[in-house]
Amino acid sequence: MARDEVVILGVGMHPWGKWGQNFVEYGVAAARAALADAGVAWTDIQFVSGACTMRCGYPGYVAGATFAQALGWNGARIASSYAACASGSMALEAARAQIRSGRCDVALVVGADTTPKGFLAPQAGERPNDPDWLRFRLLGATNPTYFALYARRRMDLYGTTERDIAEVRVKNAQHGFTNPYARYRQELTVDAVLASNMVADPLRLLEICATSDGGAAVVVASADYARKKGVTSGVKIAAVSTVTPSYPSDQIEMPDFATDSWAVVPRPGHAFRDSVARAAYEEAGLGPEDMSLAEVYDLSSAMELDWYEQLGLAEAGEGERLLHDGVTRLGGRCPVNTSGGLACFGEAVPAQALAQVCEVTWQLRGTAGPRQVKNAKTGITANQGLFGHGSSVILTR
């Protein structure tokens, strides 16, 4: 049903880290970088699509307006989207829909966050109606609890070892080592990973992503607008998937206490996480075999193994083989997390799905420097926000 191609004209990031500034600064810095990269003046932007942060007061809730005001009101229309870790993709889709529906020619998408140290915790106050509050209160279930459940099940079912998980972390450290936007830039050994403290069995400190400050921005435009700017061979958006589960979902998802029940209505043919990339492949008319690289959401290093299978790069239980064969390493058939992934960046929730888009764009342009994937033609991103927000973007050149 696609009628219009939407082009990535520019991308920009603020380095990830712990900078102690207001999130607005990271967002505006990323936005200015993306505008400069695109060669588009801020005053020409017709639509600003912000990915919200819930941690930074009202300015975070109205991210689109906050960035627009900080860049200087230009009368643009705005949106502010929230989908937890998938917020960046939702904001990108909001901008893409405005362009494809003919309501604007060029739009700016921005996400940025200032994240507290330690476990992500709910805001203060008693909220006994809020499952996100209750899972902390009644179970002490932090975010890593859920990642650990997935990891431990994988180990017991498929024989994944602690060493396998650590090797994912080591690979991503090697990838992110030279990325100037990454926060953690040090090579690691499997032994060093396995020597780090256990947080949620079987996951160790170095296998769980930290929380970071950071910002990322993307300038998107209609093909017509790009042509007028003289851009004829840019990076294009082939798909944006923002699917939700189909009932009954049998995967325990943050922040729920229980899955749906499959006693009355049988389970759908595919699990939720498998459907995320599937919807993107369908829209793009492409398959896993066409992907030159992938940026996936390694909230834990074990989760990356799941994504190999959920992206269709391997059969269920075959993720470890892919890793050991070097398929997902730089130089392999389909390198995964060439940026270093969340392992090297840490979470900056509203920015990270956009940071994935930045990385794939640089790879497709051939400007990724030491971490360049040779002859990269098509890349896929995947992540997931709690409460059933799937997210996957396919870019091509």
Partner 1 sequence: MSTDKPKVPAVEGWFESNGPNPHLIGGQCEKCGTISFPREKSFCKNPSCDSTSFRAVPLSQRGTIWSYTNACYKPPAPYVASDPYVPFGIAAVELEKEGMVVMGQLAHGVRVEDVRVGMEVELVVETLFATEEKELLVWKWKPVAS
Q: Quick one: which segment of 16-24, 107-115, 335-343, 351-359 binds partner 1 (CB under 8 A)?
A: 16-24
Taking the C-alpha atoms of residue 84 and residue 95, their distance in angstroms, rounded to an integer, is: 18
Q: Does 150 bind partner 1 (CB under 8 A)?
A: yes
Q: Quick one: which segment of 186-194, 304-312, 369-377, 381-389 binds its own copies (CB under 8 A)?
A: 381-389
123 binds, among partner 1, its own copies, none (CB under 5 to 8 A by kind): its own copies
Q: Does 28 bind partner 1 (CB under 8 A)?
A: yes
SS3 state of residue 262: coil
Taking the C-alpha atoms of residue 109 and residue 239, their distance in angstroms, rounded to an integer, is: 16
172: nearest Cα among 162, 161, 183: 183
Under rule CB under 8 A, which residues in 45-74 are in contact with partner 1?
69-74
Binding mask 105-134 for its own copies (x = CB under 8 A): -----------------xxxx-x-xxxxx-
Q: Does 84 bind its own copies (CB under 8 A)?
A: yes
Contacts of residue 60, defined as CB under 8 A and 6 or more positions apart, other chains included, come to: 23, 52, 53, 54, 66, 113
CB of 275 to its own copies, least distance (A): 7
Under rule CB under 8 A, which residues in 286-345 are in contact with partner 1?
none
Cβ atoms of residues 308 and 335 within 8 Å: no
> Cα dihedral sign for 185, 85, 95, 372?
positive
CB of 120 to partner 1, least distance (A): 8
Residue number with CB closer to its own copies (221 or 373) = 221
Q: Does 83 bind its own copies (CB under 8 A)?
A: yes
Q: Quick one: which segment of 86-94, 160-168, 200-208, 287-295 binds partner 1 (CB under 8 A)?
A: 200-208
Taking the C-alpha atoms of residue 99 and residue 7, their distance in angstroms, rounded to an integer, is: 10
CB of 28 to partner 1, least distance (A): 5
Q: Please spell the DSSP secondary structure of 279-330, one letter per residue.
A: HHHHHHT--GGG-SEEEE--SBHHHHHHHHHHTTSS-TT-HHHHHHTTTTST
> Cα dihedral sign for 33, 38, 44, 49?
negative
Question: Contacting its own copies (CB under 8 A), which of 4, 224, 250, 282?
Answer: 4
Helix (H) or strand (E) holding 384: strand 378-385
Q: Quick one: which segment of 154-162, 167-175, 204-212, 242-250 binds its own copies (CB under 8 A)?
A: 242-250
Q: Please confirm whether the linkage preceding 255 is cis (ω < 30° from 0).
A: yes
Q: Does 66 bind its own copies (CB under 8 A)?
A: yes
Interaction site with partner 1 (CB under 8 A): 21-22, 24-25, 28, 32, 42-43, 69-74, 118-119, 121-122, 124, 126, 128, 133-142, 145, 148-153, 156-157, 197-203, 247-248, 250, 252, 257-265
